[in-house]
A = this chain, B = another copy of it.
Amino acid sequence: MSGPTLRDVAKRANVSIRTVSNVVNGYAPVSDELRTRVQAVLDELDYRPNLIARNLKQGRTGMIALVVPELDVPYFAELAREVITAARAHGYVVMIDQTDGAVERERALLGRDSRAMMFDGLLLSPLAVSAEELRGRGNRIPIVLLGEHIFNGSFHHVAIDNVAAARDATAHLLGLGRRRVAAIGDQPYATGETAQLRTVGYRQAHAHAGLTVDEELIVATPHFHRKLGAQAMERLLALPDPPDAVFCYNDLLALGAIRALTRNGRRVPDDVAVVGLDDIEEGQYSTPSLTTVAPDKGEIARTAVDTLMESINGGAAIPAEIVVPHRLIIRESTTGADDPRG
Contacts and interface: CB of A to CB of B under 8 A. Distances in A.
A306 interface: no
Interface stretch (A47-55, A184-192, A211-219, A270-278): A47-55
A7 interface: no
B96 A94 contact: yes
A285 B263 contact: no
A56 interface: yes
Contact of A3 (B63, B140, B259): B140
Contacts of A282: 74, 255, 282
B77 A46 contact: no
A286 to B, nearest CB: 7
A98 interface: yes
Contacts of A93: 95, 97, 115
A175 interface: no
Contacts of A281: 72, 226
So how many copies of this chain end up in the complex? Answer: 2
Nearest to A59: B2
A61 interface: yes
A235 interface: no
B52 A140 contact: no
B118 A61 contact: yes
Interface in A190-206: none
A1 interface: yes
Interface string A215-251: 0000000000010001000000000000000000000
A22 interface: no
B63 A72 contact: no
B117 A96 contact: no
Chain A contact residues, majority secondary structure: mixed
A255 B285 contact: yes
B95 A48 contact: no
A183 interface: no
Interface string A30-57: 0000000000000000101111110110
A262 interface: yes
Interface string A71-99: 11010011011001100000001111110
Contacts of A121: none
A70 interface: yes
Nearest to A252: B285
A263 B3 contact: no
A93 B122 CA distance: 14
Best-surrounded residue of A72, A78, A85 (most CB of chain B within 10 A)? A72
A62 interface: yes
Nearest to A289: B259
A59 B52 CA distance: 9
B59 A1 contact: yes
Contact of A51 (B62, B96, B117): B117
Interface in A113-168: 113-118, 138, 140
5 contacts: A70-B81, A72-B78, A72-B281, A80-B96, A93-B97
Given A74-B74, A81-B98, 6 more contacts: A48-B117, A51-B115, A63-B95, A230-B285, A259-B286, A259-B342
